[in-house]
């Protein structure tokens, strides 16, 4: 089954250049995720779970800094612009059939980050592999979990109406 997300080729493990390119991709993805949360927070101004969404945004922003530092320690330079949100998850106008299009976008990003980090851990070696497995991936699991809680809360609130 073909993924709804564009898949960037996975370089083979080995050279430091591979780790640098993987980490650059991670930074772009984290920047895009933080931007998606910022967008959702402007759209969903009255939602009671804004603090949870803001927490997720701050977590993605913190990962930008952590990954950028690791990237610089390898001699790489961190990108400053994100992946295109529309290209990755297909943001479109609000659709009345969908209750929370912003949550759908955020979920797409959380799933994309999980998939990418799972792939990257298997493709990298040494300190970079340990960094992703022990620092970045657990933080990604937490934001994914938090967003699932927000989704369940909103779904139960909608059913209660």
CA distance 140 to 142: 5
User: What's the pLDDT band for 2 if we cut at 50, 70, 90?
Assistant: very low
DSSP annotation of 83: P
> pLDDT (tens digit, 9 = 90+) per residue, 10-69?
344 444 678 999 999 999 999 999 998 998 888 877 778 899 999 999 999 999 999 999
DSSP annotation of 42: H
Residue 154's pLDDT is what? 83
Evaluate whether 137 touches 110 at the Cβ level (below 8 Å): no
Q: Helix 50-73 to helix 137-160 angle, to the nearest 10 degrees?
A: 170
pTM to 2 decimal places:
0.79
CA distance 134 to 132: 6
Residue count of the chain, please give it. Answer: 161
CATH code given to domain 16-83+99-160: 1.20.1260.10
Domain boundary assignment for the chain:
16-83+99-160
What is the number of other CB atoms lying within 10 angstroms of the CB of residue 80? 10
């Amino acid at each position: 089954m073909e993924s709804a997300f564009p898949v960037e080729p996975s370089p083979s493990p080995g050279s430091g250049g591979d780790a640098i390119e993987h980490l650059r991709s991670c930074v772009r993805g984290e920047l895009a995720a933080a931007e998606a949360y910022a967008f959702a927070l402007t759209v969903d101004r009255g939602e009671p779970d804004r603090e949870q969404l803001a927490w997720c945004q701050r977590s993605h922003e913190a990962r930008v800094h952590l990954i950028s530092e690791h990237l610089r320690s390898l001699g790489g330079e961190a990108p400053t612009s994100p992946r295109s949100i529309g290209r990755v998850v297909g943001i479109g106008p609000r659709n009345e059939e969908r209750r929370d299009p912003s949550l759908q976008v955020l979920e797409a990003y959380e799933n994309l980050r999980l998939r990418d980090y799972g792939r990257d851990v298997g493709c990298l070696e040494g300190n970079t592999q340990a960094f992703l497995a022990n620092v970045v991936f657990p933080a990604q699991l937490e934001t994914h979990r938090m967003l699932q809680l927000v989704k369940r809360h909103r779904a139960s609130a909608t059913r209660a109406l």
